[in-house]
A and B are shown apart, each in its own frame.
Chain A
Amino acid sequence: METFLHQVLSGLATGGIYASIALALVMIYQATHLVNFAQGEMAMFSTYIAWSLIESGLPYWVAFGATVVAAFAMGIVIERLIVRPIADKSELAVVVVFIGLLLIFNSVAGFIWTYSLKTFPTPFSPTLIPGNKYLTSHEIGAMLITLLELGALYVFFRFTSLGLAMRAAAYNPVSSRLVGVRVGRMLALGWGLAAVIGAIAGMMVAHVVYLDPNMMTGILLYGFAGALLGGIDNPGGAVIGGFIVGVAENVLGAYVIGTDLKLSVALVLIVGVLTLKPAGLFGKTIVKRV
């Protein structure tokens, strides 16, 4: 029972990371109906920026803040330069461009920072919470950060007029434009926010999986699984989906299939959800007009 509880709790800790990535994917999907295959690599790249800043002697939280700003700018630049011109092209073109972006980020990171594994520091000292026998301080800290971030996003989208404008732009661009919402700007803002969410997830997970250019591939896959499980058009659902995937991965990995088939869990989940219940647990069924 002890170990089971431990597995569930540390599943929740990694689930927080998947939930963040899933949320970033859903935000972009809702606004533009694009699936950002480069989401993970953007997060990885931001994490490397944070690593460089910390290595150069900045305190952790200063580097954290600077990285968040850099990631935000990166998201906006990508939206303006790459995404906007292809937004109305075929799905194949969109997928190809995002895969291209993934490769570029991956190889540029490999070029600048090499492919060797790097340790990434954690701001949470082991003595942070005494007597925690199930989780490390980093896991607890990462979970708190994730929850804080999700809470802040909820408040932002629910209670501020900018958040309302962003939701409107995603939901119905034409009418929003008519009532004076700058739709293009809102989309760019959405990309910036998604990049920030990814960057924070990357900085939290890098301490656990070590920093290397390929660290996000598996995490992105679990993020996809979480987003699809929760419903790709439902941000709250995606977050819950991310947590479920985290727990399922940990528990199944520990008791049923072993660690060497963990990624296949994501494959089975993705294919299973898409086949049996394409709208996910909390999503709306989309009826397309022909």
Chain B
Amino acid sequence: MALLIAAAALPFFVSDYRTFQFTLVIGYAVTLLGLNILTGYNGQISLGHGAFFAIGAYTAAIMMDRWDLPYWSTIPVAGLTCLIAGFLFGLPALRLEGLYLALATFALAVATPQLLKYKGIEDWTGGVQGIVILKPSAPFGLPISPDKWLYLFALAVALAMFLMGIGILRGRVGRALIAIRDHPTAAAAMGVNTSLYKSLTFGVSALYTGIGGALSALAIGFVAPDSFGFFLSISFLVGIVVGGLASVSGAIFGALFIQFVPNIADHISKSAPWAVYGVFLVAFMYLMPTGIAGALQIAWARLARLPAKTPL
């Protein structure tokens, strides 16, 4: 709760540019939560979530630019579009296990920029040029800048998405997802409809990712095919691995990581961000497979045990 108040108060203490960066963090956090539901909790490896991020971003941009719809209405539509797209991609993906799904989604990630540039949909997507959208300003004449308003808006959306995510994962559905990940046959034997759950999870995961994409499109005010390449999908993978697989708070740590670490590393050299990503991916898998969230949890558990032990 204190964290939430701090997060809501944040834009009033930092510059507009920083606020904009944190808005992107929120967009990434929602995306990473979606990817984590699929990959971390359900064990379906996706290297292609950049594609759903792109669909969400483009849905928002097309609705605002071509149809003059208000910015807030794009969020649910982007989510729904991705839910359907994810569900449809999830149907054939059902037949793919582990590595093969990783392969198929890898192909999706590599092909996404080309698909977005496709001539047949250029009237909508603006082809290579992409689409420029106007940043929404604060309603009711509130005296805050568009960046700050958008941050608060994104925060509210993210809060709703996280609460929903926690609701899904803590309950019966969440346990079913984990059961499918750890032992699909046993899960099926216990009466879990694995194929329905798996394709629905794909859809829900894409829904989160699409909303994340729409939020970041609103914040940046611009979408173009080449910003949704293979490396975007890889950033998401880095985010969930570093933040913590199968952890809700991990999505937030991961989002902070993929927003700020490349910026810092960029000062060293142009190739440094990706080198850092690569090293972190390998190192986390060997040394800290539960990510930052897991490490914090372990540290917290140790601290909590200490006072109990001292009297003995």
Contacts and interface: CB of A to CB of B under 8 A. Distances in A.
Interface residues of B, number: 46
A103 B47 CA distance: 14
Given A96-B281, A262-B114, A271 B104 contact: yes
A100 B118 CA distance: 30
Given A93-B285, A93-B289, A260-B119, A108 B271 contact: yes
A133 to B, nearest CB: 32
A278 B274 CA distance: 33
B110 A274 contact: no
A103 B278 contact: yes
B45 A91 contact: yes
Contacts of A260: 114, 117-119
A122 B113 CA distance: 31
Interface stretch (B60-68, B90-98, B192-200): B90-98
Contacts of A100: 277-282, 285
Residue with the greatest number of chain B CB neighbours at <10 A, chosen from A100, A108, A275: A100
Given A96-B285, A99-B281, A104-B279, 7 more contacts: A97-B282, A99-B237, A103-B277, A105-B278, A110-B270, A115-B271, A221-B106
B310 interface: no
18 contacts: A37-B102, A86-B286, A92-B39, A95-B102, A96-B281, A96-B285, A99-B47, A99-B281, A101-B282, A106-B278, A111-B269, A115-B270, A260-B118, A264-B111, A267-B107, A267-B110, A270-B107, A274-B103
A85 B286 CA distance: 8
Contact of B107 (A82, A96, A224): A224
Top 7 nearest A-B pairs by Cβ distance? Answer: A100-B281, A103-B278, A104-B278, A110-B271, A107-B274, A107-B275, A91-B98
Interface of A: 34-35, 37, 82, 85-86, 89, 91-97, 99-108, 110-111, 115, 217-218, 221, 224-225, 228, 258, 260-264, 266-267, 270-271, 274-275, 278, 290
A31 B69 CA distance: 55
B110 to A, nearest CB: 5
Nearest to B43: A92
Contacts, number: 133
Interface in B276-312: 277-282, 284-286, 289
Interface of B: 39, 43, 45, 47, 92, 95-96, 98-100, 102-104, 106-108, 110-111, 114-115, 117-119, 185, 230, 234, 237, 241, 245, 269-275, 277-282, 284-286, 289
A221 B107 contact: yes
Contacts of A96: 237, 241, 281, 284-285
B111 A35 contact: no
A261 B272 CA distance: 31
A94 B118 CA distance: 34
B278 A274 contact: no
Contacts of A275: 92, 95-96
Contact of B278 (A102, A225, A263, A267): A102
Nearest to A270: B107
A278 B95 contact: yes
Contacts of B230: 217
B110 A35 contact: no
B111 A107 contact: no
